[in-house]
Amino acid sequence: MHNHYDVVIAGAGPAGAQCARDLAERGYDVVVLETEVEEEFPAQSNKSTGGTFASMMTSFGIPDDVVMHATDSVVIESPNEHFIQNQPGFVLEFAEFKTFLVEDGREKGAEYLFDARVRDPIVEDGDVVGVRYNSDKEVYGDLVIDATGPAAPLAKDLGVVNLERANHAIGIEYLFEGVDLTHPDFADLTDAMMLRLDHEYAPGGYSWIFHTGGDTAKVGVCYLQNERYQKHATQSRTVDGYLEHWLDTDPRLKNAGRIADNQVRGSAHVQHPSSMSTDSFMAIGDTVPSVDPVWGEGVYKCMKSARAAAMTADRCLTGRIDTSASEMAVYDDLWNEQVAPRQSRRLMMTRLLYLAPNGRYDRLMQDLNKLNRNTLSEINNGNRREIVKLLYPRDLAFLWKYWRELY
């Protein structure tokens, strides 16, 4: 390892490792500093269900070897109804996916330094010139990228992101065997990724069962840790308590047993980023945060933000090097145009969805079942006219809550 690189990246998650892949492929001298030790990587950071779609796999050349199970539908459940969308998808073996990104990046020329906990940025004359890691070690670069997820030590220190507690979502998941995927009272979950809207199990969020083959499935719960969203909670429970409660009461999970060493636990922020870059610095992935607020699809979004950062770096480091804040702002533009083009609408949908009461979810499923694919896609894209068509006069109570949430 040398002391100066074109680009220094903190964090070897999907965002950091993908950015290193793209930059190394373009011939840049890039190093990734990852806090975990290599022999155990990824341990603590093995924190995702890894549900994704063909567009991500194709765009980033992800091999089938890291797929745990291929699915062919997405099911959305409410307490008494469900809606099925036929859509091919993939549940990744997340640890293998992360390992692939690192190995492929190395083959392309990226360097990795494990057991390197990034502490803070080195700033000279207002310019970020490197990072300090572990107790007193330093490494320098023309550009520095924070890809440490919600930890964000560099972006927070530089005042680039303000990750708010009120927008903090937490999640937990285990891999189970003995799951009844074809229970007669529910939708068939064979080869499906199912998301359940039900405040009984995830107040202000959703729970999920993602089929992973045979009678196994990833089963989890996540929600916004904000009391406004948890108004519909019937009891005060921890996130572990809600998962336990679901296991105790859902007949599909009656005989389900945990497969050892398969706990996933993590968090993300559901908010619009105020900024993403400054002189010689960019924040990518969940550091920004890039995760889709409605359904928590973070893998594809974070990889896209990584590519936007790599494109910006390529632009700033080609010819006369110019990494001034105004040049780095190209990344912000790319993020808004290509990573999360309708983020404020997605945030509006998130608020509407998670502030609504349980009974409203059943009605929503009935309405979704009547719509054609184009309208569903418009709704998913945040088309206000189509979203408004799904509302009823009796929704005024929770629309009022939505309004208060905004102002």
Ligand X SMILES: Cc1cc2nc3c(=O)[nH]c(=O)nc-3n(C[C@H](O)[C@H](O)[C@H](O)COP(=O)(O)OP(=O)(O)OC[C@H]3O[C@@H](n4cnc5c(N)ncnc54)[C@H](O)[C@@H]3O)c2cc1C
- Residue 151 in contact with ligand X, rule: CB under 6 A: yes
Which DSSP state fits 166? G
Q: Is 161 in the site for ligand X (CB under 6 A)?
A: no
Q: Which of 161, 219, 299, 355 binds ligand X (CB under 6 A)?
A: 299
- Count interface residues toward ligand X (CB under 6 A): 43
**Are the CB atoms for 105 and 26 separated by under 8 Å?**
no
State yes or no: residue 130 binds ligand X (CB under 6 A). no
| SS3 annotation, 237-285 | CCHHHHHHHHHHHCHHHCCCEEEEEEEEEEEEECCCCCCCEECCEEECH
- Among residues 91 and 398, whose Cβ is nearest to ligand X? 91
Task: Report if residue 343 touches ligand X, rule: CB under 6 A.
Answer: no
Binder among 13, 130, 203, 293 for ligand X (CB under 6 A): 13
Q: Which stretch binds ligand X (CB under 6 A): 121-129, 283-291, 343-351, 399-407?
A: 283-291
Q: Which residue has the tokens 């990228």?
A: 145
171 binds ligand X (CB under 6 A): yes
The piece of 27-35, 103-111, 223-231, 312-320 that touches ligand X (CB under 6 A) is 27-35
* C-beta of residue 295 within 8 angstroms of C-beta of residue 268: no
Please tell me the distance from the alpha carbon of residue 291 to that of residue 270, in angstroms, as a whole number: 7
Residue nearer to ligand X on the CB measure, 68 or 401: 68
- Span from 43-51, 57-65, 231-239, 324-332 in contact with ligand X (CB under 6 A): 43-51
Answer yes or no whether residue 183 interacts with ligand X by CB under 6 A.
no
Question: Binding ligand X by CB under 6 A: which of 8, 9, 12, 270?
Answer: 12
Residue with tokens 């068939």: 188
Nearest to residue 82, comparing CAs of 199, 188, 232, 180? 188
- Beta 4-10 vs 30-33: how paired, if at all? parallel
Spatial contact of 292 and 340, defined as CB atoms under 8 Å apart = yes
Q: Is 111 helix (H, G, I), strand (E, B) or coil?
A: strand
Cβ proximity of 122 and 132 under 8 Å: yes
Distance CA 230, CA 215 (A): 32
**Which letter, b or e, does each residue of 372-385 get, where b requires 16 or more Cβ atoms within 10 Å of its Cβ?**
eeeeeebbbebeee
Residue 224 three-state SS: strand
Question: With respect to ligand X, which residue has the nearer C-beta, 52 or 271?
Answer: 52
Closest residue to ligand X using C-beta atoms: 298
Which residues, 87 to 106, sit near ligand X by CB under 6 A? none
Q: Which of 8, 15, 192, 270 binds ligand X (CB under 6 A)?
A: 15
Positions 206 through 245 that interact with ligand X (CB under 6 A) = 220, 222
Among 21, 47, 82, 252, binds ligand X (CB under 6 A): 47
Question: In angstroms, what is the minimal distance from the CB of 55 to ligand X?
Answer: 11
Instruction: Considering the complex, state which of residue 134 and residue 375 has its C-beta at the smaller distance from ligand X.
Output: 134
111 touches ligand X by CB under 6 A: no
From the CB of 118, what's the least distance to ligand X, in Å?
A: 4
Binding residues among 263-282 for ligand X as defined by CB under 6 A: 264, 266-268
Q: How far is residue 60's CA from residue 334's CA, in Å, rounded to a whole number?
A: 17
**C-beta of residue 194 within 8 angstroms of C-beta of residue 206:** no
Alpha helices in 121-238 (DSSP H): 153-157
Provide the β-strand partners of residue 136. none
Single out the residue of 21, 24, 28, 35 in contact with ligand X (rule: CB under 6 A).
35
Residue pair 136/219 in contact (Cβ under 8 Å)? The answer is no
Query: Which span sits near ligand X by CB under 6 A: 44-52, 237-245, 348-356, 376-384?
Result: 44-52
The distance of closest approach from Cβ of residue 6 to ligand X in the complex, given in angstroms and rounded to an integer, is 19
CB 193 within 8 Å of CB 208: yes
52 lies in the binding site for ligand X (CB under 6 A): yes
Q: Which residues bind to ligand X, rule: CB under 6 A?
A: 10-16, 33-36, 42, 45, 47-52, 117-118, 147-149, 151, 153, 171, 173, 220, 222, 264, 266-268, 285-286, 291, 296-300, 302
